[in-house]
Amino acid sequence: MISLASDNLLGTVFGVYLARAKDEEIRKIKVASGGAVTALLTYALEKGIVDGVVTAKRIKGLEGQAIVAHDKKELLEAAGNKWSIVPFAARMKAKIEEENLQRVALVCLPCQAQFFGQMRDFPLLETDFGERIKYIISLFCMGTFAFEAFLNYLRMKYGIKAEQIKDIALKKDFLEIIYDDTTLALPIEEVYSYLQAGCLVCTDYTGTWSDISAGFVESEPGWTVLIARNPRAEELIKNAEKEGYLELKEGSHVIGEVLKKAREKLARAQQNMMYLL
């Protein structure tokens, strides 16, 4: 019912890199990946390329909130995986207008990147603020949780309360929930049904409307995969390396792995669409 050319899956790819932060402080906090996004944004903020970074911060349990970071400290506080969608759009507009930001970098999920990308390319409304968005950085995404339901499940089956959860990480086929001092590994199949239905029909893994897509692959632990989608994004990454914020290496050999994940997401979407639509 849906046909999509496979070269379309990752969108425009200008360059692929493996990167990690040079800064030890960033790397310590970002255990899962190389912290390249945080380092890249630190560079952009400190050199005045952007005047604010809008991102999501987990406030309690799995709930997130949109915040504006102005320096490295604020960025580090927001670092880490989010597992729920953040009602970004309206709050973001309020934030941008409140602080009168002119050059913003956004860190968001593929769906949000699509919305902001479309807004920037095609401003349909007078109230659009696309020209203020300088960089859109999209994170690889396999879906977000309908987190009330998911938290209920965790509470009922495992007795874990939302406040106890410190972090959630994806390791191979297991979802590791770190709470108090214990780690609970849940098989992915077990929690699949708690993903939001909208995410189950989404086909975009990397965020094709973004300037830079970031995420990690299993074969290169400790490194972040960065996909630059236009010359402007490429320039930012290269300059961050030059200025000593990033450690960079060529990453075209991992694109197959990213593509495999993207195909998985597409296959899942097609399967689910048959049930849902």
Site residues, other proteins (CB under 8 A):
1-4, 8, 11-12, 85, 87-91, 93, 110-112, 114-115, 118-119, 121-128, 130-131, 144, 196-199, 201-204, 273, 276-277
Helices 36-46, 231-242: axis angle to 10 degrees equals 90
Q: Which of 10, 34, 5, 36 is nearest to 260 (CA)?
A: 10
**Sign of the C-alpha dihedral computed for residues 23, 28, 30 and 32 taken in this order:** positive
For residue 13, the minimal CB distance to other proteins (Å) is 13
Residue 132 CB partners (closer than 8 Å, separation 6+): 96, 101, 102, 103, 104
CB of 223 to other proteins, least distance (A): 28
Which residue's CB is nearer to other proteins, number 87 or number 187? 87
Which residue number, 150 or 245, has a Cβ lying nearer to other proteins? 150
Distance CA 266, CA 264 (A): 5
Residue 211 or residue 241: which is nearer to other proteins going by CB?
A: 211
Residue 3 CB, nearest approach to other proteins (Å): 7
Q: How far is the CB of 202 from other proteins (least distance, A)?
A: 7
DSSP 15: E
The angle that helices 88-99 and 110-121 make with each other, rounded to 10 degrees, is: 50
Instruction: Return the number of the residue (199 or 217) whose C-beta is nearest other proteins.
Output: 199
**Tokens at residue 222, please?**
């400790």
Residue closer to other proteins by CB (options 231, 244) is 231
